[in-house]
Amino acid sequence: MAAVLVGQFHARDAEGRVYSVHEFQESDPSQDGSGKDVVTYKLAIGDRVNKLDEDTFLLVQSGVQLIREPETPPQPQAQVEPQIAL
């Protein structure tokens, strides 16, 4: 069974700590050849994470609940004109 990284996001606990969560998709081949995909979540350091609902997750090892951070679109970079000192 091979796992492929399909996404990553940040989540916060009740104390405000930020965690980097990785989303993996694993193919689970069956005997008849019709495999189903299984989605799993892990912290960047490898700890397992269970998904409770759309934006709520639970660290398996410690029982700490995490809330997914809303994604913010990238801000456009302001154009800065080079200045030459005379």
With a cut of 70, say whether residue 59 has pLDDT above it. yes
Which pLDDT tens digit goes with each residue over 13-32? 999 999 999 999 987 666 66
Question: Stretch 46-66: mean pLDDT, rounded?
Answer: 96
Task: Choose between 11 and 34: higher pLDDT.
Answer: 11
Helices (H), 1-86: none
The answer to whether 63 and 52 are in contact (CB under 8 A) is no
| Cβ neighbours for 25, distance < 8 A, ≥ 6 positions apart | 3, 4, 6, 37, 38, 39
Please report the pLDDT score of residue 58 as a whole number: 97
| Both tokens assigned to 44 | 């960047």
- Average pLDDT for residues 35-46, to the nearest whole number? 88
Q: DSSP letters along 59-86, please?
A: ETTT--EEEEPPP-PPPPPPP-------
For the chain, give every domain's residue range.
Answer: 3-68
Report the pLDDT value the prediction gives residue 35, as an integer from 0 to 100: 66
